[in-house]
Each structure stands twice: as C-alpha cells, then as structure tokens.
C-alpha cells in the first residue's frame, strides 16, 4: 500500500510539472502555431528597455495594418536593429500592441518552458517512480528542445 501511495504521489507531481510546462508555453505558442487568420508581418526592433523591445510593424498578411510601434518581450530572442517575423497578439492594454516571433525559432522559443518542465519531471520520474529509462527519455527530449531553441535563435 505504501508503494502504491508513493507511485501515485510522484506520478501526480510529474504530471503537474508537465501540465504547468504546457500551460506556461501555450500562452505564446498558440499565437505562433495557430497563426492562420491572425495579423502577420515583420518588426524592426528600434529600441529596447528593461522588459520589452519596440519598433515599427510592416504587414505581410492581407487585412493587416501597418503600425508605428509594436512591443515584443525583451529576451535573448531579439536584438536591437534586427528584423523579425511576428504575429500580432489580439487585444492589448492601453494602446500597446504585443507581438510574438513566428517561424521555427519563434515556435521553439515558445515551447522552452515545456523543455524545462520535461527536464524537471525527469528527475521526479527517476527518483520518485524509479523509472530510469523513461526519465532519460524525458530529460533527453527536454534538453533537445531547449538546445534546438538556443541554436535557432
């Protein structure tokens, strides 16, 4: 009975870690993966602050409108002076329009939180569930995802 309780508890913890990774990734990934019907274009980064970078938006998709200033999260994914393919996030607060990177690099970057969750859950699977082969697979996939995102950016 004690063994079953340990397996159930550790299985639940591993599953929660993976669900949290998907949840954290989906906020950005949905705009990259389900971009049909969304405004798409390019953004030239002209200024970067502490948290965000901004610049003009040039539309590529039909029905999209040019904007003088759109905002993207400042991260390793963008550099000042660079031009990036982006998709416009619907909504916006106080007139600022948020965008996310598209293409392979944007997709991989959006799923980096899932890669971290895979790495973390591999430790739980190995230690708590005593499933070393499955843990190696989870860790390998997580490491491959993070590495691919790093190389693509």
pLDDT of residue 93: 58
Is it the case that residue 94 has pLDDT exceeding 60? no
pLDDT at 40: 93
Section 86-96 average pLDDT: 77
Q: Hey, how many other C-beta atoms are within 10 angstroms of the C-beta on 83?
A: 12
Angle at 74 between CA 68 and CA 78, to 5 degrees: 80
Helix (H, G, I), strand (E, B) or coil at 59: strand
Task: Examine the pLDDT at 110 and tell me if it is beyond 60.
Answer: yes
pLDDT value of position 92:
65
Q: Indicate whether 148 pLDDT > 70.
A: yes
Pairing status of strand 47-48 against strand 67-73: unpaired
For 87, the token pair is 């998709």
Phi (first) and psi of residue 55, to 5 degrees: 175, 180
Is pLDDT at 95 greater than 60 in this prediction?
A: yes
Rounded to 5°, the CA angle 142-135-19 comes to 60
- Segment 10-30, tens digit of pLDDT: 999 999 999 999 999 998 899
- Segment among 48-52, 63-67, 75-79 with least mean pLDDT: 75-79
């Amino acid at each position: 009975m004690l063994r079953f309780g340990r397996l159930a508890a550790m299985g639940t913890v591993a599953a929660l870690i993976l669900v949290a990774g998907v949840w954290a990734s989906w906020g950005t990934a949905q705009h990259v993966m389900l971009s049909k019907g969304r405004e798409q274009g390019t953004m030239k980064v002209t200024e970067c602050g502490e948290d965000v970078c901004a610049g003009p938006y040039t539309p590529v998709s039909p029905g999209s409108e040019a904007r003088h200033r759109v905002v993207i999260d400042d991260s390793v994914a963008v550099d000042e002076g660079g031009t990036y393919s982006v998709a416009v996030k619907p909504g916006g607060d106080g007139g600022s329009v948020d965008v996310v990177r598209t293409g392979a690099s944007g997709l991989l970057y959006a799923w980096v939180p899932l890669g971290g969750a895979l790495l973390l859950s591999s430790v739980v699977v190995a230690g708590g569930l005593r499933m070393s082969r499955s843990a190696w697979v989870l860790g390998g996939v997580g490491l491959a995802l993070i590495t691919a995102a790093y190389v693509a950016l």
